[in-house]
Structure 1
Amino acid sequence: MAVKERVNAYRARMRAQGLRPVQIWVPDVRSPDFAAEAHRQSALVGAADRANDDMDFVEAISEDWGE
């Protein structure tokens, strides 16, 4: 059985189970650009003023998970 036929059969079985295929695109975490952007954003968060109204709101509605 050719690869195309196996893939088609697999997809038919999945559809018969009520499923459908979905394709999503996610950031490539192996990319140097991703690492640089993640570092940039985490530095901004780390340097943010924790006394602002937004942070007070987030902390007020956050649940303590009791590490």
Structure 2
Amino acid sequence: MNDLSPKRTDKFRAYRARKRAQGLREIRLWVPDFRNPEVRARIEREAEAIRNSAGEKEALRWIEAVAADSWKDID
């Protein structure tokens, strides 16, 4: 049975209809493929550039302060 068989498309159509009836909607996301060596190399280069940036420590302190402050409201 190939991916476009009527039985398969009907199955997914029914599945999506059930999910919509539950108040959900379908979204599709494209994310980096970390299995690809070129993608991994690019991400590593970008991470290294961030680590070496002048404002990184200040930005991290701000993020941590905001996160810590937001958790105070939850307790």
TM-score (structure 1 length as normaliser): 0.66
Number of matched pairs: 62
TM-score relative to the length of structure 2: 0.60
User: Quick one: percent identity of the two aligned structures?
Assistant: 32
- Asked whether 1:32 is paired with 2:37, we answer yes
Gaps of 5+ in 2: 1-5, 69-75
Q: One-letter code of the match for 1:35?
A: R
Q: Which amino acid aligns with 1:56?
A: E
- Higher relative CO (Cα under 8 Å, sequence separation at least 6) belongs to 1
Change (3 A) 1:14 1:58: same
**Can you give the 5+ residue segments of structure 1 that lack an aligned partner in the other structure?**
none
